[in-house]
Amino acid sequence: MRTLLLAASALTLALTAAAPATIARTDSAAEAARALAPVPPGKLTDAVRPTAYRIDLTVDPAQERFSGKVEIDTVLKHPARFIDLHGRDLKMASAVAMVGGKRFPARYFELDPTGVARLTFDRTLPAGAVTLLFDYDAPFNTGPAGMFRVKVADQWYSWTQFQSIDARAAFPGFDEPGFKVPFTVTLRTPKGLTAVSNAPQTGLTTENGMDVHRFAPTLPLPTYLMAFMVGPFASVADSVAPTPQRDWPLPVRIVTTQPNAPKMDFAMRGTKDIVRILEDYFGQAFPYPKLDQISTPILPGAMENAGADLYNDSILILDDNATTRQKRTFGMVVAHELGHQWFGDMVTPAWWDDIWLNESFANWMGFKIGHQWRPDLNIQAGALAEGFNAMNTDALVAGRPIRQPIETNAQIDEAFDSITYGKGGHVVAMIAGYMGDTKFRDGVRAYMKAHEHGSATSADFFGAMAKVAGDPRILPAMQSFTDQQGVPLVTFAPDGKGGYTVTQSRYARLGTQAPATRWGIPLCVRPVDGQQACQLLDGPSGSVAVAGPFVPNAGGTGYYRFELPAQDWDALIALAGKLPGGEALALDDSLFASFQAGRASPAQLIAGARQLSTNPDSYASASGMDSLQWFFSAGMLDEAGEAGYRRLVGQTYAPRLAALGFDPRAKAYAGEDPEKSEMRAEAVGKLASVARDPALRKQLGDAARAYLGGDKAALDPAWFRSAFAVVIDEGGLEAAKRVAELSLGSQDPLLRPATLGAVSASGQLEIARWLLTEFSDPRLRTSEKLGLIRGVVGRRETRDFGFAWLKDNYEALSSGGGGIFFTSGLPGLFGGYCSVAKADEIATFLRPKLAGKTGALALERTVERVRSCGVLKDARGAELSAEFAKVK
């Protein structure tokens, strides 16, 4: 799975859990069932194992509920009067166990809000083969979890999103990754609708006025990788020609809603190319008999369902005129999800504590293979940018290691965060770089072959790597990063002999103390005009023989921060514009972190941002100013400091945009060099929103108003957000209402989110009040309602209003189903505050409500982040503002 907005994804996934299950059982009967044995808080026992599923669902997306008949073949380890399994919000008409032709009627109880269910029997079931039969119905969700439906234009569609534990909302079963068995699926739909599942469709008949779609049995799969999609889809079909790894053509389809039909060709071409590259890397054929690439308007990312990947519309639906950012996202996310077909689907984690390996590896693969697909897009540099960004979370004392024991269902979703994706991917890149690409690839191939169509653990993967590496230190070095929280800090000090002594410690921000930690750090250093030299720093200190200006993180692949003497910082900063992109990103991260820890000076920060802005790598050139933007957005600067920051942005980007040129019309820069296009996008965004360049804002505003007037050629999608933000900024509430109407009247996967985002992030209190207290429209989707809240609290001008509104409405929003809010992701909304007092207020309000729930860790991270920012502001805000004020 790949989320586009990691901090927000917990809010968007499972937004609308349906109302509590309707189970025709008395409270006393449920309590009697509960008393039979402790309800498993997480992993089920080994008392029963499924061996096969037969799922027959009746799905009409135009209705509010669907129904199902499910048969599960199981093996019961011991005679039993009850069976624990999973089901959530299922209205059970009947449940029966069949043993040797005999019926054992069951009573079905849902005993836990996470979906732990129990079947009880009046007679003891004998050990051995038992088939469970269920007849039930259940509600569609309106947010992307379980079986969900959305109305697009005038037609209803339904999709499924089961990771991590939402398959249980679509059918009863054993909803754990280690239970990997074949599924035989039948989907009954209104006539004329398309149905998609994991395996090829083998038959289409009509029964009782419904189309009956039958699918071949799947290869062994866990429940979370199953998929059932139904609707009047548009599709295009082709195949990937045979390759050295595969002697048969692989059928491929792009499947999407009708309004997206004209934009499927890019996805088809890209998918075919990426499949071929992945087959070459793994040395194996695509592991499933067909591939469907499916899109939906509301999933906040993508999901690797075996043979039936699901993506947000904006990822999959584009054409050759799309922006560099959208093409980068396509390449990275499609390579990520298709990489999962081998690493994650064919070989699956035995339990959720090893899901990090799936996601971390796929994240690394997404950037690597995406870059191989289109080197001109510079996709691979994004992996390092994401890894360095993850360090901002990993540096907190409140947190978790990449791999952690998962003992309860409430802990599972906490594994899908920037630590798993960003840090995990960076650590994989670091180990691959240290071992060498060929050895690492050979280790991956050996691991895949040993566990083909089965389950595996982190220990299995580490063992495969250690064997091919031929270096026994690799295993503990890898585990020191996966099993420990925190960011290593490598401090360089002159040794008086022309080299440096290096010491390792755990990085900590100003005002915090991190526990002592030691890693096995692959430390790679190079002189600026020479080759890198690597060593494994597994003790508290070591020595490095390097002279002159040097790069402390060669290639930027090391997952560590560095600290330098002042003169070495200055020498490295002076070279920032000429460093390779990854090394420039490492410089920016460590310099910013040094200031946050109370060491680097404001002058060094500003000098670093200026120099980095001249780097030809678009990720690197944006990094320094993006770091400075954090101080501005957090409200750390006084009025004079903010004015100086705006001048700095104008001085940096106005000459660049003048050199690049700017024309807001559609397709004005079609076919342009991707890096040049991205440089322009960065300049326009900063100049319009921060420097508030009047000439540029007039161009954008005029183009947006022409678009509103019907001239769709007046504005390219690349400028939707910036241009409509100008219109709203100048026109206030009435303009916001007009733009909101444009949004809801459109199904365009770029226009709709961009315009709603411009409305919600206006920073105007009148608009914020209208959005949260008055705005209501049946066309507004559940995930979009959440986005409005996020936009309001994301702007410091409206953050206090949004926080107060959320506190006042918390109970109504978090109870029952159909709300616009999901409590597990709530704390992250307030991470933009910068105040010790506000940290205490957030903690006081939310700790009692989230104790023991999924959002508890996110809350502690937010509280620490807000408090740490407040400490830094109190200690260094004045000197930082004074330095910005010097910019004239």
Query: What pLDDT was estimated at residue 18?
Result: 37
Query: What pLDDT was estimated at residue 823?
Result: 54
DSSP assignments along 451-485, one per residue: TTTEEE-HHHHHHHHHHHHT-TTHHHHHHHHHSS-
Distance CA 284, CA 108 (A): 44
Could you identify the residue written with the tokens 């790949």?
2
Whether 294 contacts 255, CB under 8 Å? yes
Distance CA 415, CA 800 (A): 30
Query: What pLDDT was estimated at residue 472?
Result: 78
Query: What pLDDT was estimated at residue 414?
Result: 81
- Measured over the CA atoms of residue 702, residue 706, residue 712 and residue 713, the dihedral's sign is negative
Dihedrals phi, psi of 51, to nearest 5 degrees: -120, -20
Q: Is 482 exposed, middle or buried (0-12, 13-18, 19+ CB in 10 A)?
A: buried
Q: Of 799, 816, 736, 819, which Cα lies nearest the Cα of 771?
A: 736
Q: Of 297, 291, 255, which Cα lies nearest the Cα of 151?
A: 297
Q: Of 402, 401, 405, 399, which Cα lies nearest the Cα of 353?
A: 405
Q: Of 101, 96, 82, 79, which Cα lies nearest the Cα of 44?
A: 82
Helix/strand/coil for 147:
strand
Q: How do 541-544 and 500-506 pair as beta strands?
A: antiparallel
Query: What pLDDT was estimated at residue 822?
Result: 54
**Amino acid identity, residue 75?**
V
Could you identify the residue written with the tokens 């005002």?
511
Token pair for 443: 């280790």
Query: What pLDDT was estimated at residue 22?
Result: 38
Whether 54 contacts 71, CB under 8 Å? yes
Whether 621 contacts 612, CB under 8 Å? yes
Query: What pLDDT was estimated at residue 8?
Result: 41
Q: Of 318, 307, 246, which Cα lies nearest the Cα of 276?
A: 246
Token pair for 276: 């071929």
Token pair for 258: 């009708």
User: Could you give the count of Cα atoms lying within 13 Å of 572 in the half-sphere of its Cβ?
Assistant: 28
* Mean pLDDT of each 10-residue bin along the chain, 888 residues long: 51 38 62 94 95 98 98 98 97 97 96 95 97 98 93 96 95 97 98 98 97 98 98 98 97 98 97 98 97 96 97 96 95 97 94 90 93 95 90 94 90 85 89 87 94 90 87 82 95 94 97 93 93 92 92 94 97 97 97 98 97 96 96 95 97 97 96 94 97 98 97 97 98 98 95 96 97 93 87 94 91 54 70 95 93 86 96 97 96
Distance CA 768, CA 762 (A): 8
pTM score, whole prediction: 0.93
Query: What pLDDT was estimated at residue 14?
Result: 36
Whether 311 contacts 335, CB under 8 Å? no
Distance CA 192, CA 296 (A): 19
